[in-house]
Amino acid sequence: MPILPREPAIFPDDLFSEQVDLPTDAPWWAIYTLSRREKDLMRRLRAMEIPFYCPLISRKTKSPSGRVRKSHVPLFSGYVFAQGDSEQRLQILQTNCVSRTLEVDDAAQLLDDLSQIHRLIDAEIPMTVESKIQPGQAVRVISGPFAGLEGVVLQRRGVEHLIVSVQFLQQGAAVEIEDFQVESI
């Protein structure tokens, strides 16, 4: 049983679909929040109708009494990605949830990376955060639920993992994958 219901982690709900008409002149921002304020910021951005995405994953913990608790936590702790002009950026800063903002230089690359992370999360397969991704074998998934995703394959304890990264943060998410499901690019 979750402590609280899952927060909407994306606005608009079809942010990564082809039909969404986002303004092309407004930059994307990586917003670094104050400690544990990501969900508060997401609620405020939704109310202001500012496009955003914060990848949330499920995490299960056990209390000392043995009760299992399920919570939804940000994949990239402290970060929310939003699109807005300078006026909307000012509104975001006035929420008192923000430590600093970083303008994204390559918005198309960021959206592509976040779209892939979104697909991984929707598959509801256990994943881990990978920090400071090192160069490795670049691959494209050719079969299975992740067909079309691109990433890097690493081997850990004899098990292969596909890492899909967000280049701007130099972080990513890893899922287990079989070698027959990928091809070199």
pLDDT for res 21: 80
Residue from 31, 150, 6 nearest 91 by CA: 31
The top-level CATH class assigned to 126-185 is mainly beta
> Rg of the chain's alpha carbons, rounded to an integer?
17
Q: Residue 118 pairs with which residues in a beta bridge? A: none
pLDDT for residue 162 is more than 70: yes
CA distance 82 to 52: 4
pTM of the full structure:
0.83
Q: Are 95 and 139 in contact (CB under 8 A)?
A: no
Q: pLDDT, tens digit, for every residue of 107-142? A: 999 999 999 999 999 998 888 887 665 557 788 888
pLDDT for res 153: 83
Residue keyed to tokens 């992740």: 146
The top-level CATH class assigned to 1-104 is alpha beta
Q: Is the peptide bond before 12 cis (omega within 30 degrees of 0)?
A: yes
Residue from 50, 8, 46 nearest 28 by CA: 50
Give the count of beta carbons closer than 10 Å to the beta carbon of residue 79.
20
**Where in the sequence of the chain do the CATH 3.30.70 domains occur?**
1-104
**Where in the sequence of the chain do the CATH 2.30.30.30 domains occur?**
126-185
Backbone angles phi, psi at 181, to 5 degrees: -90, -5
CA distance 98 to 54: 14
Q: pLDDT, tens digit, for every residue of 2-57? A: 566 788 999 999 999 877 787 778 999 999 999 999 999 999 999 999 999 999 99
Q: Which residue has the higher pLDDT, 185 or 77?
A: 77
